Amino acid sequence: MSVRVRFAPSPTGYLHVGGLRTALYNYLFAKHHGGKCILRIEDTDRTRFVEGAVENLIRSLRWAGIEFDESPEVGGEYGPYTQSERFDMYRQYGMELLHKGHAYYAFDTPEELDAMRERQQKAGIAPRYDRTTMRNQYTLGEAETARLMADNAPHVIRLKVPLAGEIKFSDLVRGEIVVPARDVDDQILLKSDGFPTYHLANVVDDHFMQITHVIRGEEWLPSTPKHALMYDAFGWERPAFAHLPLLLNPDKSKLSKRQGDVAVEDYRDKGYFKEALVNFVALLGWNPTSDREIFSMAEMIETFRLEKVNKAGAVFDIQKLDWMNNEYLRLKPSAELADALIDEACEKGLTDNKAYLEQVITLVRERVHKVNELLPFATYMFQQPTEFDEEYKAKFWTDEAKQHIPKIIEKFRHAESFDHTTLNGIVKEYAKESGVKMGVFANVLRLMTTGKQVGAGVFETLETLGKEHVLARCEYFLGRFA
Ligand code: GLU
């Protein structure tokens, strides 16, 4: 039997990072087993539909490097599969369950349902549809049901869940799961407008799309007993289930917009590499055997095992993502980064010299986490500083420095070469002769040429700036503060 899995998002706006992880695990699992991974748009709830959401989902998934089989983009004929185009089929199978006695008509009004919930709340029981007291095919009898149906009375079709006993299924992450049937609601399968609910459409599609493994977020675990019952009622083989652990904020609450970005596009727009985001998301709940953390997509496909997915929730730690992004940043050739940034550098009036931009990137790349931090961080490499860190200046721009620095600058002026080794040698020698610590001079030179306390190595910075600019900057500084 060959593996077939699906990613089945609802088009409610954007791709959530949790959705990216679900899509990714499905993709890795399928590729690992030489199987197929399909995309299915679950848009049965038309009230939640958002214009452009499907295109947005597909764009984000493609950006992340996840491609779906059977979709036109990869030469397939069909996908993405769209549930709203298949409504007739769900209705047909909903009716089949009804005719087999596994589902029934219910006529309760919203007011009656509210009253039921209120009664249950008062009695301290969890709210669920109470088939034995409400207005449905069972309590009303066949004749009254037929009369109401002939009258076009508003109705839904509900799944008939056993009133007692247990529902069992196994989960590849969580093991055997046993749920008392009394805790499972008589789920609505077809709504009063005739539209299917998620549960009916999902099970019908997973069956006819020959899905072998349902891999989805833990929030769907309470739905699985209902789905298991439906497979049994249809007489269909159940797929294997795997529920992925929740993503958590650092305070262990469920990952929410309030505590940070949750849309994949936000991370893309902030300058994270897709490789880093995908690598980071992959490790939220999955521990490959080795103690490495950096994996390419091919390596993840190779090592992915559902059995290695954790049960415990995974904390979305943005600092780790930053660290990982930096690891990927180190691997990118500076020339490639310069290509990506030259237009922006021109627009910002920083430089139109790509060779110089590349040198600057090589100089500062280890000091930042993301590509889009490079230019803001390195602005001083393109523009002479006119503001100087006050605290830094107070500490190092001392009388002693004022006395020696002009002499060092004179030596720089006459230096034969302006590479960092030569400059370092000049300052070292001068420090030795004068008896002043070399670090003092290094700090003052950084202050004068960059205005800042932090940056790349000072002599490498001077070399990259070049003699002309270094002398001009020092003269400016001395003109103002000597
Ligand atoms: N449409 C559901 C969602 O939005 C899919 C759940 C499932 O994979 O069964 O996540």
Please say if the pLDDT value at position 43 is more than 80: yes
Q: 40 has which bridge partners?
A: 81
* Arithmetic mean of pLDDT, 322-351: 94
Q: Are strands 156-159 and 103-106 parallel, antiparallel or unpaired?
A: antiparallel
Q: Which three-class secondary structure state does DSSP give residue 401? A: helix
Burial class (CB in 10 A: 0-12, 13-18, 19+), 196: buried
Rounded distance between C-alpha atoms, residue 226 and residue 189, angstroms: 10
Going by alpha carbons, the residue nearest to atom 10 of ligand 1 is: 9
Please state, rounded to an integer, the average pLDDT across all residues of the chain.
Answer: 94
Q: Which three-class secondary structure state does DSSP give residue 188? A: strand
| Catalytic center residues | 257
Q: What is the pLDDT of residue 73?
A: 66
Residues 6+ apart with CB under 8 A from 316: 17, 247, 248, 249, 250, 255, 260, 284
Please say if the pLDDT value at position 374 is more than 80: yes
The model's pLDDT over 378-403, given as tens digits with 9 standing for 90+, comes to 999 999 999 999 999 999 999 999 99
* Arithmetic mean of pLDDT, 320-340: 93
- CB of 9 sitting under 6 A from ligand 1: yes
Rounded distance between C-alpha atoms, residue 188 and residue 230, angstroms: 12
Q: How far is CA 282 from CA 39, 113, 306, 364, in A?
A: 19, 42, 12, 29
- CB of 239 sitting under 6 A from ligand 1: no
Rounded distance between C-alpha atoms, residue 252 and residue 302, angstroms: 31
Please say if the pLDDT value at position 74 is more than 70: no
Residues 79, 44: contact at Cβ < 8 Å?
no
Beta-carbon count within 10 A of 181 CB? 14
Top pLDDT among 21 and 368 is at: 21
Q: How far is CA 110 from CA 116, 192, 196, 200, in A?
A: 10, 11, 18, 21
Q: How far apart are the first and last CA of the chain?
A: 81
Q: How far is the CA of 121 from the centre of ligand 1 (A)?
A: 29
Q: How far is the CA of 281 from the centre of ligand 1 (A)?
A: 18
Nearest ligand 1 atom to alpha carbon 216? 8
Rounded distance between C-alpha atoms, residue 159 and residue 232, angstroms: 12
Q: How far is the CA of 106 from the centre of ligand 1 (A)?
A: 26
How would residue 287 be classed by pLDDT, with cut points 50, 70 and 90? Answer: confident
The model's pLDDT over 110-159, given as tens digits with 9 standing for 90+, comes to 999 999 999 999 999 988 999 999 999 999 999 999 999 999 999 999 99
Going by alpha carbons, the residue nearest to atom 5 of ligand 1 is: 8
Task: Give percent above pLDDT 70 in the chain.
Answer: 98
Tokens at residue 213, please?
């493994």
How would residue 284 be classed by pLDDT, with cut points 50, 70 and 90? Answer: very high
Going by alpha carbons, the residue nearest to atom 2 of ligand 1 is: 9
| Least-confidence region, from 86-90, 239-243, 367-371 | 367-371
The model's pLDDT over 194-239, given as tens digits with 9 standing for 90+, comes to 999 999 999 999 999 999 999 999 999 999 999 999 999 999 999 9
pTM (2 d.p.): 0.83
| Least-confidence region, from 105-109, 288-292, 418-422 | 288-292
How would residue 75 be classed by pLDDT, with cut points 50, 70 and 90? Answer: low
Q: How far is the CA of 24 from the centre of ligand 1 (A)?
A: 14
Rounded distance between C-alpha atoms, residue 254 and residue 57, angstroms: 22
Q: How far is the CA of 236 from the centre of ligand 1 (A)?
A: 20
- CB of 69 sitting under 6 A from ligand 1: no
For the chain, the 3-state helix, strand and coil shares in percent, each to the nearest 5, are: 55, 10, 35
Angle between helices 224-234 and 198-208 (to 10 degrees): 50
How would residue 51 be classed by pLDDT, with cut points 50, 70 and 90? Answer: confident
- CB of 451 sitting under 6 A from ligand 1: no
Q: 247 has which bridge partners?
A: 314
Q: What is the pLDDT of residue 46?
A: 78
Nearest ligand 1 atom to alpha carbon 22? 8
The model's pLDDT over 426-477, given as tens digits with 9 standing for 90+, comes to 999 999 999 999 999 999 999 999 999 999 999 999 999 999 999 999 999 9
- CB of 442 sitting under 6 A from ligand 1: no
